[in-house]
């Protein structure tokens, strides 16, 4: 069964609908380019994946069979790296919500609501803004304008309450320390996260995936200067809020409520993914379904399971020369199969991007640390991929 065959067309779409699955950063840049009059651009995101080959379908029939595949991307080599050509994306109408809008159309967005609103407004023929607060001309200082009125065609008052999709809170006085292990599975997750945290040096800018990666920061010292970045446009994220601190406009990329630390900043998604693709994020910690001996990573699709898209993962691994990719995952899947494989059988998130240490040039794995009580023979028995042992093989703390 192909992985997208669980996307039953009769559940959400008809056979006449086209559904394009795009990485989040590429989507943001396509929209930004559309608004700026740039017809196309080259990006390293999704190189050597199904996206490059045009193998992700855009149309299914009612049985889930592929009717039409995606578009194979034109590629170009720059400085020894493969880049894909992506085209600009525009729309007839953009509907967005802003916190404050004056009668000139100038808009102010709060926190994470900047993510896609401003760039979508610029890429549409007609932009309709739902305003939480409508004020007179001149009541918004020019330095506070996030979206100039030239991009706005209609203003309507907001009538709907904001929803919080994933409410996460902490108790008053909790300091974000790691969860206590109440079972063997949680102890394994804590051990993996504790080891991943050792890759985060003072002053680093870090992006965390969901699951085990989010636990890593709880093992940092209280005075840590590591700063967390979120793809939806936050830099300087703090812990979950207390009930009194909850703000529906301050959420992370997983739509969870979070807080912002002193010195934090907010920006739109094209800015956020520019930081990521540009290599300005020092470390990205991701989960995985499979990692190969050459550092290929697969973490967004399992055949026969619901396929929701790849989110921002393809962008996060697009510049491994400048952003260290740390995979925080259990060694074996639930069925006992190895996640560390000679060659990935699942669709790739990124090629040659990734404690084994991966030499992405030579395509080799080196075992550098062992968990307490684990032997090299046990690791070999549970690892499909070939690997070497480090001369100074250590026991994980």
- Tell me the catalytic residues: 231
Characterize the bridge pairing of strands 340-341 and 260-266.
unpaired
Measured over the CA atoms of residue 337, residue 338, residue 339 and residue 344, the dihedral's sign is negative
- List the structure tokens of 350: 């990124």
Residue 347 to residues 2, 4, 152, 153, Cα–Cα distance (Å) = 11, 11, 40, 42
- List the structure tokens of 236: 């300087």
Work out the angle at residue 208's Cα, subtended by the Cα atoms of residues 43 and 161, and round it to the nearest 5 degrees: 95
**Who's near 379: CB < 8 A, 6+ residues apart?**
331, 367, 370
Q: How many other β-carbons are positioned within 10 Å of the β-carbon of residue 179?
A: 11
What is the secondary structure of 225-252 as a DSSP string? --EEEETTTEEEE-SPPPGGG--TT-B-
Cβ-contact 332, 378 below 8 angstroms: no
Give the chain's largest Cα–Cα span: 73
Residue 49 to residues 21, 225, 242, 324, 355, Cα–Cα distance (Å) = 13, 35, 41, 20, 25
- List the structure tokens of 27: 């989507």
Work out the angle at residue 27's Cα, subtended by the Cα atoms of residues 153 and 46, and round it to the nearest 5 degrees: 170
């Amino acid at each position: 069964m192909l992985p997208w065959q669980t996307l039953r067309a009769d559940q959400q779409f008809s056979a006449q609908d086209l559904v394009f699955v795009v990485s989040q950063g590429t989507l943001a840049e396509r929209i930004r380019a559309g608004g700026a009059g740039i017809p196309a651009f080259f990006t390293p995101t999704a190189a050597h994946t199904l996206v490059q080959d045009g193998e992700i379908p855009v149309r299914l029939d009612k049985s889930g069979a592929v009717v039409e595949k995606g578009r194979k991307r034109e590629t170009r080599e720059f400085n020894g790296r493969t880049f894909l050509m992506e085209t600009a994306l525009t729309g007839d109408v953009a509907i967005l919500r802003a916190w404050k809008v004056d009668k000139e159309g100038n808009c102010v967005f709060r926190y994470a609501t900047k993510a896609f609103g401003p760039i979508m407004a610029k890429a549409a023929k007609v932009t309709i803004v739902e305003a939480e607060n409508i004020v007179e001309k001149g009541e918004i200082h020019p330095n506070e304008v996030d979206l100039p009125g030239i991009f706005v065609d209609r203003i309507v008052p907001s009538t709907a309450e904001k929803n919080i999709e994933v409410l996460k809170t902490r108790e008053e006085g909790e300091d974000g320390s790691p969860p206590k292990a109440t079972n063997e599975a949680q102890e394994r997750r804590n051990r993996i996260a504790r080891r991943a945290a050792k890759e985060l040096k003072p002053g680093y800018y870090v992006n965390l995936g969901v699951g085990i990666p989010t636990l890593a920061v709880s093992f940092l010292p209280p005075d840590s200067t590591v700063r967390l970045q979120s793809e939806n446009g936050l830099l300087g994220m703090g812990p979950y809020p207390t009930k009194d601190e909850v703000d529906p406009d301050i959420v992370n990329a997983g739509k969870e409520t979070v807080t912002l630390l002193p010195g934090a900043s907010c920006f739109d998604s094209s800015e956020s993914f520019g930081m990521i693709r540009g290599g300005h994020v020092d470390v990205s910690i991701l989960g995985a379904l499979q990692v190969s001996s050459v550092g290929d990573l697969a973490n967004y699709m399992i055949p026969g399971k619901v396929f929701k898209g790849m989110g921002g993962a393809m962008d996060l691994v697009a510049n491994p020369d400048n952003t260290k990719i740390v995979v925080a995952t259990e060694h074996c899947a639930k069925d006992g199969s190895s996640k560390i494989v000679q060659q990935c059988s699942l669709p790739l998130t990124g090629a040659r991007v990734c404690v084994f240490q991966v030499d992405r040039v030579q395509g080799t794995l080196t075992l550098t640390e062992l968990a307490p009580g684990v032997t090299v023979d046990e690791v070999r028995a549970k690892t499909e991929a070939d690997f070497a042992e480090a001369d100074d093989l250590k026991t994980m703390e």
